[in-house]
Structure 1
Amino acid sequence: MSRSFWTVVGVIVAIVVAWFLVDALFSLMWMLAKLAVVAVVAVVVYLALRSALSGSREE
């Protein structure tokens, strides 16, 4: 009886730990994907601004 109780407790603890690990992993992956999108948009905006400013400085 005691052995099956600890087996059930172990399974529940494993599920809870796995839930938090997967949640943390997906949060990290989402943050990295968001950071990559921000970097791409920042480069595009930088190139557009540089192009616009260099075009207006031509004499």
Structure 2
Amino acid sequence: MNMGTIWTVLGVIVAIIIAIFLVNILFSVIFWAFKLLIVLAVAAIVFAILRSVFSRKN
């Protein structure tokens, strides 16, 4: 094995480690955004229900 091959193998290993780290961050951000969308949808439904309940009493 020459020095170029060793650096190539080390570069590939470092690239894989960095890619795993970035993909984990990306998935956590996507999960957080999806969770936020679900919370907003449920909050809008609850708001509409509460608004209709309180408008009937008046």
TM-score (normalised: structure 1): 0.91
Render the CA deviation track for 1:2-58: whole Å, top value 9, x for unaligned. Answer: 11110110000000010011111111111110000000000000000000111112x
For structure 2, the 5+ residue unaligned runs are none
Query: RMSD of the TM alignment (CA)?
Result: 0.7
Q: Work out the CA distance in 1 between the residues paired with 2:57 and 2:25.
A: 48
Aligned AA (2:56) = G
Cross-structure match for 2:57: 56
TM-score (norm 2): 0.93
Off by >6 Å, runs of 4+ in structure 1 = none
Q: State how far apart, in whole Å, the 2-side matches of 1:56 and 1:28 are.
A: 42
Task: Report the number of matched residues.
Answer: 57
